[in-house]
Amino acid sequence: MLLIKNCNVIFPEGIEKKNVLVENSKIKEITNSDKYLCDTLEGEGLYLSPGFIDVHIHGSGGYDVMDGRYESIDKISEIIADFGTTSFVPTTMTFDSKKIKTAVKIVSEAKKKGTSGANVLGCHLEGPFINREAIGAHDINCVLDGSVENFKEIIGESERDIVSVTLAPEVGNNKELIKYLYKKGIVASIGHSKASYEEAVEAINLGISHSTHIFNAMPIFHHRNPGIIGAIFDNNITTEIIADGIINSYTALRVVCNQKKVDDIIIVTDAIMYSNMDDGKYLINNEELNISNSKAELKSGVLAGSITMLNKAVKNVYNNTNCSLHEVIKMVTINPAKHCKVDNSKGSIMQGFDADIIIFDGELNIKNVIVNGRMIRHK
């Protein structure tokens, strides 16, 4: 057993000074007592929260989900755990459908087998059922018409391991796919789309419950043509926000936090394989990519995802919005846990929940990371 003493414990509704007792892989007790014969960790002046959950991440440290190798998923899990992420949803890109199928299979394997670092909760398909006119850094030649048949072909026997699918409701047979995903309990997310406000609202009524990286790869908001962004703000769906201060400005972060309920916001990294690497020139999807000053940019000027780690994104939201600390922590713990349908075991500091725990100081510098009761980082 391990007793973590005198921490400011972050709960969904506030912060209290408590002791947290961990036994094996679970939170055994939240208590005021320190009368236990076990190892102790002093947390005076520090904060304790559930581990972060990243529901949109492509890679890190030179490893990519699209590598189609268990070793890549495992390495990503190790890297991001060091920055406070204790669970994640490996995210595919719009590539050749055979490569996507292989990647999905490997993510399923990693979920079942387990990893050295952060837990794998399932797979996020970002594409290939997207709009070619909102392609971003995806491969325009690999976009597929949205259909239940194409979806089933790509995911093979891994349907139970699909957490979410990003799609453009206005193209192909994606309306039918949205209805199918809703029926199966898979999150249908609007993204990489040119849908009008009316098309987006129709899609929400059909089963869209989430939006992928708000503001990015979608039309800008206009007062006479509010589009997808208007639909997101006008309906009670959840939304991701990439909080790196580059892909989205701090003003944009404040707008989202002012317009959406705290419970409806999920902070993500959308991190690519070159996150946590040195500045320089690399290749992504056979295009030159320049990493410089925390920015990942194609020759065309298109930003190719973020290279910010999740702890920095959390710090950015906390330092640049009016949200309190416990509200910001909800955006990377209980909110994504609900998104992944694991909020009965993860995302909160509660008795009986998985011991996925992080400890950090007042500047949000990560000190300790515990995954499934196992100390991953100790500083």
pLDDT digit string (tens) for 231-261?
Answer: 999 999 999 999 999 999 999 999 999 999 9
pLDDT score recorded for residue 305: 80
Beta bridge pairs of residue 287 = 284
Residue 9 has pLDDT above 90, yes or no: yes
Residue range(s) occupied by CATH 3.20.20.140 in the chain: 52-339
**Closest to 106 (Cα-Cα) out of 60, 143, 63, 55:** 63
Q: For domain 2-48+349-378, which CATH number applies: 1.20.140.10, 1.10.3210.10, 2.60.40.10, 2.30.40.10?
A: 2.30.40.10
**Residues forming the active site:** 270
pLDDT per residue as tens digits for the range 224-238: 999 999 999 999 999
Which stretch of 1-5, 42-46, 135-139, 285-289 has the lowest confidence by average pLDDT? 285-289
Fold assignment, 52-339: TIM Barrel (3.20.20)
pLDDT score recorded for residue 287: 82
CA distances in angstroms from 154 to 76, 231, 364, listed in the order given: 23, 29, 39
Rounded Cα distance between 104 and 117, Å, is 19
pLDDT score recorded for residue 35: 82
pLDDT score recorded for residue 27: 98
**Could you write out the DSSP letters of every residue in 218-231?**
SPPPBTTB-HHHHH
**Residues 177, 147: contact at Cβ < 8 Å?**
yes
In the chain, how many H helices and how many E strands?
Answer: 10, 22
DSSP 186: P
Residue 285 backbone phi and psi in degrees, to 5 = 55, 40
Residue range(s) occupied by CATH 2.30.40.10 in the chain: 2-48+349-378
Percent of the chain with pLDDT over 90: 92
CB atoms within 10 A of CB 197: 19
Mean pLDDT of the chain, nearest integer: 96
- Rounded mean pLDDT of 209-224? 97
Longest Cα–Cα distance in the chain: 66
pLDDT per residue as tens digits for the range 21-80: 999 999 999 999 888 889 999 999 999 999 999 999 999 999 999 999 999 999 999 999
